[in-house]
Structure 1
Amino acid sequence: MGIRSRKRCAGREDGERRGPNGLSLLPWLLMGMGSLSHLVSGEAPNPWLGMAGLLAFNALYIAVVLRAFDGSRRATTTTWVLLGALAAVTFALAIGYGREWLLLCPLLGLALGAVARGARELRRLTLPLVVAVGAVTFWRDGWDSIGIVYGTFISTMVTAAILALNETVAELRATREELARAAVERERLRFSRDLHDLLGHTLSVIVVKSEAARRLVPHDPGAALGQITDIEQVGREALTEIREAVTGYREAGLGTELDRARSVLASADVEPVVRRSGPPLDPAAEALFGSVVREAVTNVVRHAAATRCEIAVRATPERTRLTVTDDGRGGAAADPFGSGLRGLAERLAAAGGTLTAAGAPGGGFRLVAEVPAAPGAVEGATSRGR
């Protein structure tokens, strides 16, 4: 089975999020080839003036669309002045030459849609532009120009809609990443708070008894020895509690990790879907699958940009299978895993199991972990079957 790497997917993520830029609108300048052909054929009056006008149109169009994709310059006075100059050149060429030169009007619509993406600007500018284009094209070309009018309207509205939608999607992605980071930070804070609550009282007792022992040593060594014995006992108990807390955090049972997964995914605005079927697992499998769930969910909230994550556990008397599937970005075929998944793959292999990862059908990412049932569990299931 092919292995997908989230690392490479994350490496390409920035490029995917940039979306369209000013260069994406430059190929539309080929619509002006008809005007150039009209000049070259010698049919156009004042060809040198027409050539100068065409060059001015191209230069203004390029300047406007490049500035339209720069957030710091799109709404500036300079951009609107350049757009006004582009409109003046467009109408001057359309009025003076007609015919193929009328195709410059939809290009003006593209430039307007790229600059005026807000609903208010579009309502204020699109209708006057379409009316003016309709008047000029009808005067020059009669009813045959209705396609130019329609093309100008569509190019303006579609360009503005697509670019506005792209901005909205970028903002949503940024918000989802922030929510994912906040969910991870809350989990770290929870663990830190748990350790603080666990150690605060114990360390206070150790400090107080240490001070008492220091004061008693010169006067009552026997009492000081009793305090030191108490410190040793408290320290041993604290060490045991810390080990239990860390083990409980790192090796929590599958049920606990599934509950945590629901909470973390919901906090990151990812819909959690958890399904579990079959007999209970042995403690070793519980801890192992709990680690897989934790690592998989961490990858989902950090890298997948998903909206839905499904976790399915299916246990049979012979094998147990855990599947974590998200609808985010699938990785690219590459080096198997990052360090977290690689360590889990080694632990599963030591238990006779497997860990595989690949793109999910229809998009997304799927992580599958399988382990054989413990011999005792198989025997018990066989006896119950008898």
Structure 2
Amino acid sequence: MSGISIGQRPQNRRQKAVKLLWLGIWFVYLSAPVSDLLHGGHSDGVRVLGWIGLVAFVAWYFALIFRTGRGESNAIVLGSVAVLAAQSTVLSLTLGREWLVLYVYVAISSGAALPFSFARWTIPAVSVLLTGVALIVPGGGSFLAGLLFPALLGGFAMTGVRELIRTTVELREARATVAQLAANEERLRLARDLHDLLGHSLSLITLKSELAGRMLPAHPDKAARQVADIEQVSRQALVDVREAVSGYRRPRLSAEIAGAQVALTAAGVTADLPAEPDLTGVPKDSETALAWALREAVTNVVRHSGACRCTVELLRRQTLDGPMLELSVADDGSGGPGSGPGNGLLGLTERLDKAGGSLEAGRVKQGFRLVARAPAGQATDIGSGT
């Protein structure tokens, strides 16, 4: 993950910086104890001890948050949360009600560092401890209402964020597993197809070669007929292999839509894609040409456009040339460097021309737009979306 990883260890400097910034939002609550140290009228000795206690609390808080996900047991994390709670209690009882705000950080760290099965108990426990200490500290009752709700809400919000990110990670891992299984299945399919195609042909070629070899000295005319049969079988086997490999490599529009979603999301581009279309009746050449067009367009968006948003539409149009399947890819980027069409767009134009379609691509008012059209065959409804 490249974003904030609540409940997981940051993997690089960027993740650490983003996580630090995100967690830093909560430090607005530290204004109360800082103000108390600066203007609370404490003696110099108490003030020094207060600063030491505050720094120790913040350091322990960061150590707990940033080390989460390194394999520590729940017992160690619970012990760290207990240390934070003990620090909050000591500082609140000795320095006054302004320090009750530290319990908010204890609740938040519980939600961020502990699984929900533990956090659902520790967050209410911290809230109960906050209530008890607030009733003991002079004037603490007036602060209770303003702190109890943030402690509960912040703590359980962290549990929700943690569970959401955990689920997202599991879904990504599952999607990668499914993709790997699909690739393995496709390789097995190709192996089966090649075996079925070549097994019989090669066996026949071997048999006829042996016959031709035995016939050649005494019956050259019969041997020539066997060689002619070998040539015919070999040519047919070559055609079968080419068709099998072509079908194996032919891109599918539904697969390219799914791949576009993954590529755009990984590049930080907001993707607006159609649902999986029903391509019943659409010629294979049309689907293949549009699949290549989508792949090339998304590649250009990811590599060159600098776009923040990309919209893909798949629609059926009735034209003078008959029903056409129209693929539109629009982004809000700069369109990339260069003033003319690149090799990719030229190749797409050739593919679409062979399929009986057309290609339009160019800058628009807010970005770049590519429109590819191919014959849709018989009139059938397909899925489209924005």
Normalising by structure 1, we get a TM-score of 0.69
1:347 aligns with 2:351: yes
SS at match of 2:228: helix
What secondary structure is seen at the aligned counterpart in 2 of 1:82? helix
- Counterpart in the other structure of 1:55: 55
Classify 1:202/1:294 alpha carbon distance in 2 versus 1 (closer, same or farther; 3 Å).
farther
What SS does the aligned partner of 1:313 have? strand
Instruction: Report if the CA contact (8 A) 1:274-1:310 is conserved.
Output: no
Tell whether 2:140 aligns with 1:153: no
Q: CA deviation at 1:134?
A: 0.7
- Equivalence for 1:75: 73
- Determine the structure 2 residue equivalent to 1:7: none
In the TM superposition, what is the alpha-carbon distance from 1:57 to its structure 2 partner? 0.5
**How far does residue 349 in structure 1 lie from its aligned partner after superposition?**
6.2
CA distance in 1: counterparts of 2:229 and 2:132, whole angstroms? 98
1:313 paired residue among 308, 316, 319: 316
How many positions carry a matched residue from both structures? Answer: 334
Structure 1 letter corresponding to 2:136 = W
Other structure's SS at 1:73 match: coil
> Equivalent residue for 1:289?
286
Give the CA deviation at 1:234: 1.5
Kindly indicate whether the alpha-carbon contact (under 8 Å) linking 1:126 and 1:153 is maintained by their aligned counterparts in 2.
Answer: yes
CA apart distance, 1:143 = 4.2
Letter in 1 for 2:62: I
Q: Is 2:125 the partner of 1:128? A: yes
CA distance in 2, matches of 1:322, 1:146: 62
Quote the residue 1:233 is aligned against. Answer: 232
Q: Deviations over 1:161-183 (max 9, x none)?
A: 11211111221123223323433
Report if the CA contact (8 A) 1:94-1:102 is conserved: yes
Q: Measure, in 1, the Cα distance between the counterparts of 2:243 and 2:175.
A: 34
Question: 1:348, 1:371 within 8 Å by CA — same for their partners in 2?
Answer: yes
TM-score by length of 2: 0.69
Counterpart residue number, 2:167:
168
- Aligned counterpart for 1:272 among listed residues 276, 280, 284: 276
Maintained 8 Å contact 2:362/2:370: yes
Distance across 2 between alignment mates of 1:168 and 1:345: 42
**For 1:250 and 1:129, how far apart are their aligned partners in 2?**
59
Q: CA deviation at 1:112?
A: 1.1
CA distance in 1, matches of 2:2, 2:351: 35
SS of alignment partner, residue 70 of structure 2 = coil
Identify if the C-alpha distance between structure 1 residues 66 and 247 changes in structure 2 by more than 3 Å, giving closer, same or farther. closer
Preserved contact between residue 314 and residue 326 of structure 2 (Cα < 8 Å): yes
- 1:93 is aligned to 91
Matched-pair contact (CA < 8 Å) for 2:107–2:155: yes
Structure 2: unaligned runs, 5 residues or longer: 7-14, 263-273, 303-311, 377-386
**Contact 2:53–2:91 at 8 Å: present in 1 too?**
yes
Do 2:103 and 2:126's aligned partners in 1 also have CA atoms closer than 8 Å?
no
Higher relative contact order (CA 8 A, sep 6+): 1
1:29–1:58 CA contact under 8 A, matched in 2: no
| Distance (whole Å) between structure 2 residues aligned to residue 90 and residue 54 of structure 1 | 9
Q: What's 1:28 paired with?
A: 26
Question: How far apart, in 2, do the equivalents of 1:213 and 1:17 lie?
Answer: 72
The one-letter amino acid paired with 2:114 is A
Letter in 1 for 2:124: L
Relative distance call for 1:366 and 1:335 in structure 2 (3 A) is closer
How far did residue 251 of structure 1 move? Answer: 7.4
Name the Cα RMSD after superposition.
4.6
Three-state SS of the structure 2 residue aligned to 1:44 is coil
Equivalent residue for 1:15?
2
Work out whether residues 359 and 370 of structure 2, in 8 Å CA contact, stay in contact via their aligned partners in 1: no
Shift of 1:160: 1.3
Relative distance call for 1:169 and 1:323 in structure 2 (3 A) is farther
Counterpart AA for 2:287: G
Corresponding position of 2:373 = 370
* Aligned CA distance change for structure 1 residues 35 and 345 (closer, same or farther; 3 Å): farther
For 1:136, the aligned partner's letter is V
Q: Which amino acid aligns with 1:317?
A: L
Q: How has the CA–CA distance of structure 1 residues 263 and 105 changed in structure 2, closer, same or farther, with 3 Å as cutoff?
A: closer
Q: Verify: 1:112 aligned to 2:117, yes or no.
A: no
Please, which moves more after superposition, 229-238 or 332-341? 332-341
Instruction: Write out per-residue CA displacement over residues 256-287 of structure 1, whole angstroms, 9 at most, x where no aligned residue.
Output: x67xx49997xx999523378xxx98xxxx45
Residue 102 of structure 1: aligned partner: 100
Distance 2:285 2:136 in 1: 78
Q: Give unpaired runs (5+ residues) of structure 1.
A: 1-13, 374-386
Cα distance in 2 for partners of 1:246, 1:151 equals 62
3-state DSSP of counterpart to 2:121: helix
Q: Secondary structure at the match of 1:202?
A: helix
